[in-house]
Amino acid sequence: MKTSESRYSKCMYFISGALSRKIEKLAVASWKKVGLSPSHAYLLMMVIEEPGVQPTELSRELHLTPSTITRLIEKLEQKKLVIRTTVGKLTNVYPTPKGKELLTSLKTCLHEFYQKYSDILGKEESERLVKNMSRIADRLTN
């Protein structure tokens, strides 16, 4: 059954969840080749691009809770892709050399992800949809 044929097709909660699951499937497939989930990949790219970034900034930028950020960092530490340093109350996250080596592959995965959904929706529609979703998310923020 198409999402648009569901009895809940006019419900923002239902539709946003259905869309999220479909986009998640595309994203997971895109980052599979580097062995990371999309959330891990985005966090690692940010750490590589901003060495020493603090978990609070990662949380703010990625719109994830601090506890989720901690779990993501721990998993990347287990994979030897990032390290944390703590000085006083400040924690900073740095990429390891192994993590840095993935940047080109991560960016390729990101480009392929964008290309996949742009091919399905069309470039203009994709750009318009992302812009509108971002604007709506901002308006719904408390």
Instruction: Identify the residue whose tokens are 């340093």.
Output: 85
Mean pLDDT calculated for residue range 106-125: 96
Instruction: Identify the residue whose tokens are 């959904």.
Output: 117
H or E stretch covering 62: helix 55-62
Average pLDDT score, the chain: 95
- N residues, the chain: 142
Amino acid at 134: S
Q: What is the pLDDT of residue 141?
A: 77
* Per-residue confidence band for 142, with pLDDT thresholds at 50, 70 and 90: low
β-strand partners of 14: none
The answer to whether the predicted template modeling score (pTM) of the entire model surpasses 0.85 is: yes
Domains of the chain: 34-140 (1.10.10.10)
- The candidate with the shortest Cα–Cα distance to 81, out of 109, 32, 42, is 42
